[in-house]
Amino acid sequence: VFLGNLLVLMYGKCGSLELAVESFSALAHPNVFSWNILIQVYVQHGELDQAKVWFEMMPGWTLVSWNSMLRVYAHMGDLESAKSLFDSMPEHDLVAWNTMLQVYASAGHLSELIKLFNSSPEVDVFSWTTLLAGHAQKGQVQQAQDVFELAGVANVVTWTAMLKAYVDNGKLSSAKFLFSRMPEWDLRAWNVMLQAYAQDGHVDEAIRLYKSMPVLDVVSSSTMIVALGLNGQLQDAVHMFESMKERNLVSWNTLIAVYGEKGDVESSKCIFDRMPCHDAVSLTALLTILSRNGHLEESKKLFNTLPPAA
RNA sequence: UACCUUAGUAUAGAACG
**pLDDT tier at A8, thresholds 50, 70, 90:** confident
Measured CA to CA, the distance from residue A227 to residue A233 in angstroms comes to: 8
> Which protein residue has its CA closest to C1' of B2?
A2
CA–CA separation, A108 vs A161, rounded Å? 16
pLDDT score at A146 = 97
Please give the mean pLDDT across all residues of chain A: 93
| pLDDT at position A190 | 97
Task: Please report the pLDDT score of residue A308 as a whole number.
Answer: 64
Distance A275 CA to B17 C1' (A): 36
Distance between the alpha carbon (CA) of A253 and the C1' atom of B12, Å: 8
pLDDT number for residue A309: 60
Q: Kindly report the length of chain A.
A: 310
Chain B positions with an atom below 7 A of a protein C-beta are 2-13
Question: Which nucleotide comes closest to A153 if you measure CA to C1'?
Answer: B7
Question: Distance between CA atoms of A193 and A172, rounded to whole angstroms?
Answer: 9
What pTM was computed for the model?
0.92
ipTM: 0.88
Distance A303 CA to B12 C1' (A): 15
Q: Is the pLDDT assigned to residue A9 strictly greater than 80?
A: no
Distance CA A282, CA A275 (A): 9
Q: Which residue is nearest to the C1' sugar atom of B14, using CA?
A: A284
Which residue has the closest alpha carbon to B3 C1'? A2
Q: Distance from residue A65 (CA) to nucleotide B6 (C1'), in Å?
A: 12
Picking from A121, A202, A117, A124, the residue whose alpha carbon sits closest to that of residue A157 is A124
| % pLDDT > 70, chain A | 97
Q: What is the pLDDT of residues A229-250, one digit of tens each?
A: 999 999 999 999 999 999 999 9
Closest amino acid to nucleotide B12 (CA–C1'):
A285
Tell me the pLDDT tens digit for each residue of A23-49. 999 998 899 999 999 999 999 888 999
CA of residue A225 to C1' of nucleotide B16, angstroms: 30
Give the angle subtended at the CA of A75 by the CAs of A71 and A79, to the nearest 5°: 80
- Determine what percent of chain A is predicted with pLDDT higher than 90: 86
What digits encode the pLDDT tens for the residues A120-133? Answer: 999 999 999 999 99
The mean pLDDT of A201-208, rounded to a whole number, is 96
List the A257 CA – B15 C1' distance (angstroms): 21
User: What is the rounded CA–CA span in Å between residue A43 and residue A104?
Assistant: 18
| pLDDT (0 to 100) of residue A145 | 96
At residue A38, the pLDDT reads 93
pLDDT number for residue A310: 47
